[in-house]
Amino acid sequence: MLALKLGMSIGGSNKPMGGWTPSDEGSAVAWYKNKEGITLNGSDVSAWADSSSNSYDMVQATATEQPAYNASTGALTFIAGDSTNLQSASSLALSDEFTIGIKLAPTATGAVISSNTLGSEFFKIQSPTVFRIKIDGSQVDVSLDSGSFIGDYYLVITRNASNLITLYKNGVAQADTETLAGTADIDAIGVRKTDTNPFDGTIKEVQIYDSTSAELTANINTYLSNL
């Protein structure tokens, strides 16, 4: 039975029978898993535990800034007007290659998906057709081939050993690639700095790795497509 009491943690298992999961990857840095590791304050999320072994748990002690939870879909609803967000006590640092997978449904642009609240680094839906990444004071914009970032879909963002950024939307690599070096620091989901550019919409899952490969990207895309 779903636990709705204050401070009670809920979880389950959505691993496909015999299928790949992020726990199969030694390079998994953090995994905010759909329907797992959720601590509720009534019907709102006060914590989303890291399902990897690294304990980068995302928490929010301020009740008015806690995202709402949909127990049926496992989606967390972030409301820009309330600056709902989750933050980690320690920053996750990606200094070299990385791969990030996200299942989300944004309802507005100018919205930060994840960030470093102290250093103003972020992964952001800048406009309906532009995804912006800022690392160590430098930023790049990646444009969609077609369509919009508003809607229900999944993204995979990769950076290889040559610092080449590639964006996949619904499993399709976008033609616009950019180069961006530096250490990407992440300590929040849904906001940048103090209540800046808050995310509006839902997020079902976030996966973060400190490696990149064609096989890993394909596995994440397949996994997220089934959420």
Q: Across the chain, what does the average pLDDT equal?
A: 92
CB atoms within 10 A of CB 163: 14
Tokens matching residue 16: 């496909």
Give the pLDDT confidence score for residue 4 in this predicted structure: 31
Q: Binning pLDDT at 50, 70 and 90, where does residue 195 land? A: confident
Q: What is the per-residue pLDDT across 140-173, written as a single tens digit (0 to 9) for each?
A: 999 999 999 999 999 999 999 999 999 999 999 9
pLDDT of residue 18: 57
Question: In terms of Cα–Cα distance, which of 196, 219, 220, 192 is closest to 206?
Answer: 220
Task: Point out the least confidently predicted range of 77-86, 109-118, 150-159.
Answer: 109-118
| Domain residue ranges in the chain | 28-33+76-225
Which carries the bigger pLDDT value, residue 196 or residue 130? 130
Using the predicted structure, report yes or no on whether residue 119 has a pLDDT greater than 90.
Answer: no
Question: Which pLDDT tens digit goes with each residue over 47-80?
Answer: 999 999 999 999 999 999 999 999 999 999 999 9
The reported pLDDT for the residue numbered 3 is 36
Look at residue 218 in the predicted model and tell me its pLDDT.
98
- Does pLDDT of 175 surpass 70? yes
- Check: CB of residue 14 under 8 Å from CB of residue 35: yes
What pTM does this model have? 0.92
Class of the domain covering 28-33+76-225: mainly beta
pLDDT of residue 15: 45
pLDDT band at 41 (very low <50, low <70, confident <90, very high): very high
Pick the residue with more confidence: 1 or 85? 85
What is the torsion angle, in degrees rounded to the nearest 10, for the CA atoms of residue 173, residue 223, residue 149 and residue 127? -80
